[in-house]
């Protein structure tokens, strides 16, 4: 009986393939740590004789091993290349080179997938369908076609029978993550099971092309007022989970500077448009294109940027964007202590982190940019310098933030190619200022208070029962801690004071919330309307309540 929990034959066979590839690329120590040697048919010494070249370093060997293991593991490498908190920078650089290319699927297999998914013969759907694919990757390939209505489209078709292989590999990855969690030093620092499950969820979403279509529609809505960005139309009548049909757009590749100039277009203006788009989608929308390599963007007539491939996107919710804004504000002010405080607030640094060492490293990084003009600071350099720091101190920033850093670096590279004087920070500054104003506006503060008020209200409803239960357990001797009750009446009075203060606190917050929502609409032209009287009354009563509450706490010695 095997010591490892892999009994299904198909999984066992795939496990053996994975172990053999790992050994061929000299990852013997990892195989031993995970206890996978027993899965092999052949002795390890025989496999060692068939090793690939050991003249290259471990990062290169890892990249080669992932490429040999196929689509799922190529995707793993691509995701890991955006996670400098998990791997040293040398691995990040190498995994960024992973190529997701594959031989094309025979045309008859592609047509079979389309007809099965759309329940209609291909020749009745498309007027023309190009036999040679425009691109062929490990999960899909793309063909040019013409609808019967005459519209030019591209059809993205998932490779036949790829899902069972993906699901098997994902199952294996999750089991490997559990083994690594238990048996490796890496597992003592990171929640590897959570990382594996997050990756599995990401890949499964990527395999459903309806999600990619919805992403495109969302980008189109977000940029409805932007005349310099074009998002191709999704043809939902010809789109399913395995087939995506979109409008075909054409233009000059965005990094083809000579081609853009030959077309009579202004490269500086295009750089400005592209940076404005990336800043808006990240800071304002919190929904950004996370695969902005030059092949996914073309420049169309009128200096309009056409975007393609919406399978990989990043999400930054309001709270994460607010945390990021605060973090950047502290960094701009060279306040290393405040940066560390914010990292702890975000949960990016564990409570056990060596705070002094982290603050020292951050201070060194910030001082490097002291008095340096913003236009000379490169986002890519800044993000790259953060990599070893994040790995050294095991910073657990959300994966979307690392994805954002890589995205900004790629877009900055395109911008600099179009315009050597390109300044990403100058473009971002007014957007960042507006975002900070939004986060600190009366309405935003009011919404936060309203959210907190709900939690306090729940606490008020539960507190009497909780105190009653606590007193009962104390009286019956069920509490493990040794406590002497001098006077149950004193405890009851104390609880009553606490509840009264909580009630006053909640009412005060409610009044502040009312003032925050009403003041922007107040009209101070005499005679004042009712809404102005209500707003000012809320401010006055909230102020008095707050002062009385503070005096009550102060007189009682803080209890």
Q: Is 141 helix (H, G, I), strand (E, B) or coil?
A: strand
Active-site residues, by number, are 291
Residue 72: what pLDDT? 92
Question: For residues 145 and 126, is the Cβ–Cβ distance under 8 A?
Answer: yes
In the prediction, which pLDDT does 509 show? 58
Give the pLDDT score at 440.
58
Residue 185: CB atoms within 10 A of its CB come to: 8
Return the pLDDT at 2: 42
User: What pLDDT sits at residue 39?
Assistant: 67
Domain ranges of the chain: 9-100+168-182, 101-167+183-248, 254-439, 442-555
- What end-to-end distance do the CA atoms of the chain give, in Å? 64
Q: How many CB atoms lie within 10 A of CB 150?
A: 7
For each of the chain's 559 residues, which pLDDT tens digit applies? 344 454 444 578 888 889 989 988 989 888 888 888 776 655 554 455 455 556 778 999 999 999 999 999 998 998 888 888 888 889 988 998 887 778 899 999 999 999 999 999 999 999 999 999 999 988 999 999 999 999 999 999 999 989 999 999 999 999 999 999 999 888 888 888 998 998 899 899 889 999 999 999 999 999 999 999 999 999 999 999 999 999 999 999 998 999 999 999 999 999 889 888 888 888 889 999 988 778 889 999 999 999 999 988 989 888 888 887 777 777 767 788 888 888 888 888 777 788 899 999 988 888 887 766 656 667 677 777 887 888 888 888 788 887 887 777 777 788 888 888 777 667 666 766 666 666 655 555 555 555 555 555 555 555 566 666 656 665 565 554 444 444 555 555 555 555 555 555 555 555 565 555 555 666 666 676 766 666 667 667 767 766 765 666 566 555 5
The 3-state secondary structure of 145-207 reads: EEECCCCEEEEEEECCCHHHHHHHHHHHHHHHHHHHHHHCHHHHHCCHHHHHHHHHHHHHHHH
CATH architecture of 101-167+183-248: 2-Layer Sandwich (3.30)
Q: Under a CB-based contact definition with an 8 Å cutoff, are residues 34 and 179 in contact? A: yes
C-beta of residue 421 within 8 angstroms of C-beta of residue 375: yes
CA gap 97, 424 in Å, rounded: 25
Distance CA 546, CA 542 (A): 6
């Amino acid at each position: 009986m095997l010591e490892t929990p892999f009994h299904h034959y198909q999984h066992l066979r795939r496990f053996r393939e994975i172990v053999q590839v790992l050994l061929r690329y000299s990852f013997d120590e990892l195989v031993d740590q995970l206890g996978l040697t027993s899965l092999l048919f052949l002795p390890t010494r025989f496999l060692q004789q068939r090793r690939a070249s050991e003249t290259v370093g471990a990062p290169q060997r890892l990249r080669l091993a992932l490429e040999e293991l196929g689509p799922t593991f190529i995707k793993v490498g691509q995701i890991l290349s955006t996670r400098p908190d998990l791997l040293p920078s040398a691995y990040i650089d190498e995994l960024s080179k992973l190529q997701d290319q594959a031989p094309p699927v025979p045309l008859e297999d592609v047509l079979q997938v389309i007809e099965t998914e759309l329940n209609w013969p291909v020749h009745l759907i498309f007027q023309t369908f190009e036999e040679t694919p425009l691109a062929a990757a490990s999960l899909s390939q793309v063909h040019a076609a013409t609808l019967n209505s005459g519209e030019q489209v591209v059809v993205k078709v998932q490779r036949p029978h790829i899902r069972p292989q993906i699901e098997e590999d994902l199952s294996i990855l999750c089991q490997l993550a559990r083994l690594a969690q238990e048996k490796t030093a890496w597992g003592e620092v990171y929640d590897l099971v959570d990382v594996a499950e997050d990756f599995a969820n990401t890949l499964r979403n990527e395999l459903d092309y309806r999600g990619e279509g919805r992403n495109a529609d969302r980008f189109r809505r977000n940029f409805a007022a932007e005349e310099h960005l074009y998002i191709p139309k999704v043809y939902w009548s010809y789109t399913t989970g395995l087939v995506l049909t979109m409008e075909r757009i054409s233009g000059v590749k965005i990094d083809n500077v000579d081609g853009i100039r030959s077309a009579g277009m202004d490269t500086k203006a295009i750089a400005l448009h592209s940076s404005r788009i990336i800043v808006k989608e990240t800071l304002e929308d919190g929904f950004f294109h996370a695969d902005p390599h030059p092949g996914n963007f073309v420049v169309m007539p009128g200096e309009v940027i056409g975007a393609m491939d919406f399978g990989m996107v990043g999400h930054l919710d309001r709270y994460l964007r607010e945390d990021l804004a605060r973090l950047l504000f502290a960094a701009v002010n060279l306040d290393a202590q405040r940066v560390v405080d914010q990292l702890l607030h975000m949960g990016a640094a564990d409570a056990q982190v060596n705070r002094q060492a982290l603050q020292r490293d951050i201070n060194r990084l910030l001082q490097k940019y002291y008095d340096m003009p913003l236009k000379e600071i490169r986002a890519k350099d800044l993000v790259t310098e953060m990599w070893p720091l994040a790995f050294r101190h095991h910073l657990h920033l959300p994966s979307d933030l690392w994805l954002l850093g890589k995205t900004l670096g790629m877009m900055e590279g395109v911008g600099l190619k179009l315009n050597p004087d390109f300044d990403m920070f100058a473009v971002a500054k007014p957007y960042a200022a507006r975002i900070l104003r939004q986060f600190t506006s009366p309405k935003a503060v009011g919404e936060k208070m309203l959210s907190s008020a709900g939690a306090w209200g729940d606490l008020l409803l539960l507190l009497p029962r909780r105190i009653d239960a606590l007193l009962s357990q104390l009286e019956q001797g069920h509490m493990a801690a040794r406590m002497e009750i001098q006077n149950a009446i004193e405890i009851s009075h104390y609880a009553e004071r606490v509840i009264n203060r909580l009630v006053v606190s909640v009412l005060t917050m409610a009044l502040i919330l009312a003032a925050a929502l009403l003041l922007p609409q107040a009209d101070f032209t005499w005679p004042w309307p009712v809404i102005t009287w209500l707003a000012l009354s809320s401010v006055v009563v909230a102020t008095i309540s707050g002062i009385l509450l503070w005096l009550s706490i102060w007189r009682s010695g803080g209890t």
